[in-house]
């Protein structure tokens, strides 16, 4: 029997249906990676931030904590149904969801989050919590959104940046594990003036510009084909905004992968505009990669 040890797959839950779907996905990811699964719920007071109407009884902290523990227990049970071979633990953590999930990511192989939550605390997804967690997590974050499908390629955004290379490594590993092809998408735009002080060349050769972008794409892929010879690779060079191109490509993907920010963003940005747009509009599950973690599937 294969040992299931090492860095766990971590999934955040909040009692919503979306979170339970994230648990199912996380359980399958843990099974594929031969890793344990940790179910995490952030406990705070009050847990709910939306009005629920008159409350006949004022519940004490113990009652609310017990309800939160039931959320964890139900999620653990759901994970066991999906992947009974995976060791699953539940953790009820004091604190806000962003701080708790970022802390949990420090020793995780993968952090899985659902797409939508409840109100208040469970603005978990998609909202400020998701954006903050994705921007600060110390492991790749898988956001379960769009249509889950077993077919279709792994799509990855490529822009030549260091984090794009990290995303490529993650995407190739995913494609190999899923026994599917990889589509590397590089989107670019002809230079245009966006302000009165901008300087754009008086003349430029569109073919030369396209050739330069082809070079960026080819150099980004160099080495990965040799490392993953079993993965069929196709490339797409698209003259369009990156967010729009990747949202369109995500329609038929079983997974879309992106670096947290790329060469087009501010150097200090933790989450780029393209990543932010995909968090809200991707039509498939989305993996955001920030750091290289030697915590592969095996």
What is the residue-averaged pLDDT of the chain?
81
**4, 88 contact by CB (below 8 A):** no
Tokens of 12: 């955040």
CB atoms within 10 A of CB 293: 17
Asked whether residue 274 is assigned to any structural domain, the reply reads: yes
Q: Is the peptide bond before 12 cis (omega within 30 degrees of 0)?
A: no
126 part of a folded domain = yes
Picking from 89, 112, 144, the residue at the C-terminal end of a domain is 144
Q: What is the 3-state secondary structure (H, E, C) of the chain?
A: CCCCCCCCEEEECCCCHHHHHHHHHHHHHHHHHCCCEEEEEEECCCCCCCCCCCCCCCCCHHHHHHHHHHHHHHHHHHHHHHCCCCCEEEEEEECCHHHHHHHHHCCCCEEEECCCCCCHHHCCCCCHHHHHHHHHCCCCEEECCCCCCCCCCEEEECCCCHHHHHHHHHHHHHHHHHCCCEEEEEEECCCCCCCCCCCCCCCCCHHHHHHHHHHHHHHHHCCHHHHCCCCCEEEEEEECCHHHHHHHHHCCCCEEEEECCCCCCCCCCCCCHHHHHHHHHCCCCEEEECCCCCCCCC
Which range (97-111, 115-129, 170-184, 196-210) has the least confidence? 115-129
What is the distance between the alpha carbons of residues 12 and 151, in angstroms, rounded to a whole number? 26
**Domain, as residue range, for 134:** 9-47+62-144
Q: How far apart are CA 133 and CA 142, in angstroms?
A: 11
Q: Residues 212-236: pLDDT tens digits?
A: 888 889 999 988 988 999 999 999 9
Shared domain check, 193 and 112: no
43-59: pLDDT as tens digits: 874 444 434 344 444 44
CA distance 25 to 161: 29
Q: Which of 46-60, 89-103, 211-225, 242-256 has the lowest mean pLDDT?
A: 46-60
Q: Quick one: pLDDT at residue 100?
A: 93
CATH classification at residue 275: 3.40.50.12370
Rounded to a whole number of angstroms, the CA Rg of the chain reads: 21
The CATH number of whichever domain residue 21 belongs to comes to: 3.40.50.620
Q: Are residue 165 and residue 284 in the same domain, yes or no?
A: yes
The mean pLDDT value for 180-194 works out to 80
Q: Same structural domain for residues 187 and 104? A: no
169 and 292 Cβ atoms separated by less than 8 Å: yes
Task: List pLDDT tens digits, range 131-151.
Answer: 788 888 999 999 998 777 888
Q: Are 115 and 134 in contact (CB under 8 A)?
A: no
Selection from 140, 134, 221, 146 nearest residue 185 by Cα: 221
Is residue 64 pLDDT above 60, yes or no? yes
Task: Give domain status of residue 34, yes or no.
Answer: yes
pTM equals 0.83
Question: In terms of residues, how long is the chain?
Answer: 298
Residues 224/172, Cβ–Cβ less than 8 Å: yes
pLDDT reading at 9 higher than 50: yes
Domain count, the chain: 2
13 within a domain of the structure (yes/no): yes
* CA 99, 130, 270, 24 torsion-angle sign: positive
**Final residue of a structural domain among 77, 112, 144:** 144
Question: Cα(first)–Cα(last) distance of the chain, in Å?
Answer: 14
């Amino acid at each position: 029997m294969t040992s299931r040890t090492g860095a766990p797959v971590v999934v955040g839950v909040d009692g919503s249906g979306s979170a339970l779907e994230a648990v199912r996905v996380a359980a399958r990811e843990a099974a594929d990676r031969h890793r344990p699964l940790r179910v995490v719920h952030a406990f705070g007071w009050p847990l709910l931030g939306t009005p629920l109407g008159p409350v006949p009884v004022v519940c004490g902290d113990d009652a609310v904590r017990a309800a939160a523990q039931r959320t964890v227990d139900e999620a653990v049970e759901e994970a066991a149904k999906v992947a009974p071979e995976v060791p699953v633990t539940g953790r009820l953590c004091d604190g806000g969801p962003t701080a708790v999930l970022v802390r949990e990511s420090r020793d995780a192989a993968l952090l899985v989050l659902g797409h939508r939550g409840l109100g208040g605390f469970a603005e978990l997804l998609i909202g400020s919590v998701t954006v903050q967690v994705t921007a600060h997590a110390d492991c790749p974050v898988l956001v379960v959104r769009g249509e889950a499908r077993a077919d279709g390629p792994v799509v990855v955004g490529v822009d030549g940046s260091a984090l794009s290379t990290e995303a490529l490594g993650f995407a190739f590993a995913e494609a190999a594990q899923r026994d599917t092809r990889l589509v590397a998408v590089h989107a670019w735009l002809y230079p245009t003036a966006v302000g009165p002080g901008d300087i754009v060349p008086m003349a430029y050769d569109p073919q030369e510009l396209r050739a330069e972008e082809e070079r960026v794409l080819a150099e980004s892929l160099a080495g990965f084909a040799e490392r993953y010879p079993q993965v069929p690779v196709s490339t797409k060079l698209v003259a369009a905004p990156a967010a729009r191109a990747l949202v369109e490509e995500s329609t038929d993907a079983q997974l879309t992968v992106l670096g947290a920010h790329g060469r087009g963003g501010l150097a200090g940005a933790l989450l780029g505009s393209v990543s932010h747009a995909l968090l809200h509009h991707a039509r498939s599950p989305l993996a955001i990669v920030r750091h290289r973690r030697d915590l592969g599937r095996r």
